[in-house]
Structure 1
Amino acid sequence: MHLVPAERADQRTIDGHRVCDAIAAIGEPSDVRVWADRFALLADPGRLALLLALHRAGPIAVSDLSVATGMKDTAVSQALRLLRAAGVVAGDKDGRVVRYRVVDDATAELLKHCATEGGRRAKA
């Protein structure tokens, strides 16, 4: 049980090797926090809809995202501001229009999986 922190070493275990495997799987607490924050961003249906649209449609403007998702422009802008602050999306300015795109690779992979899984369930 070499991976068990000292403060938990005196606790009773049943399968010590599994405890070590579980600790190794969890990894660093800071990495767990990063993934928890990423999942929190995806947990909101509006933000998830925006991200799925951005992932599939590529760079797209706020007003077009509003039409696509059924959200108000202000709600889209607020969600994009949060996603931009988290480093998940970026906007490219073209004159007065800003088109947004997904820039976080890990989030893009999750979205790809969501789109694939959602498509399978819809057809079933």
Structure 2
Amino acid sequence: MHLVPAERADRRSIDGHRVCDAVAAIGEPGHVRTWADRFSLLAEPHRLALLLALHRAGPLAVSDLAIATGMNDPAVSQALRLLRTAGIVAGEKDGRVVRYRLTDSRTGALLDHCAPGAD
């Protein structure tokens, strides 16, 4: 059980080799936290709808996203602000219009599994 942290090494194990495999699969706590945060962003239906729209339709303005998702403009802006802060989307200004796009490829890969017909 060479991968078990020292503070847990004295615990009785049934399948020591599987415990080591599990420890390796979990990885560093920071890595787990990063993925948990990413999943929490996807767990809210309105944010997930926005991300699916951006992933499949490409760059869209707030008003277009509001129409597509059934949300109002301020709610879309607030959700995009959160997603932008998390580094998942970015806005690109074109004159007076800002179009948002998905920038995180790992989130895009997750969204591929959430699209209609991916069940």
**TM-score class, shorter:** over 0.9
| 2:102 is the counterpart of 1:109 | no
| 2:19 is the counterpart of 1:15 | no
Amino acid paired to 1:97: V
Q: Identify the residue that residue 38 of structure 2 maps to in structure 1.
A: 38
Alpha-carbon distance in structure 1 between the residues aligned to 2:75 and 2:54: 15
Identity of paired residues, percent? 77
Please give the secondary structure, in 2, of the residue aligned with 1:119. coil
Q: Identify the residue that residue 5 of structure 1 maps to in structure 2.
A: 5
Runs of 4+ in 1 over 2 A off after TM superposition: none
Q: Identify the residue that residue 93 of structure 2 maps to in structure 1.
A: 93
Q: Identify the residue that residue 49 of structure 2 maps to in structure 1.
A: 49
RMSD: 0.8
Alpha-carbon distance in structure 2 between the residues aligned to 1:88 and 1:106: 9
Please give the secondary structure, in 2, of the residue aligned with 1:91. strand
Alpha-carbon distance in structure 1 between the residues aligned to 2:118 and 2:108: 18
Alignment gaps of 5+ in structure 2:
none
Q: Identify the residue that residue 65 of structure 1 maps to in structure 2.
A: 65
Paired positions, count: 119
Amino acid paired to 1:119: G
Alpha-carbon distance in structure 1 between the residues aligned to 2:67 and 2:5: 52
Match of 2:117 among 116, 119, 123: 119
- 1:88-112 CA-to-partner distances (Å, cap 9, x unmatched) read 0000000110000000010011111
Alignment gaps of 5+ in structure 1:
none
Q: Identify the residue that residue 25 of structure 2 maps to in structure 1.
A: 25
Higher helix share: 1
TM-score by length of 1: 0.94
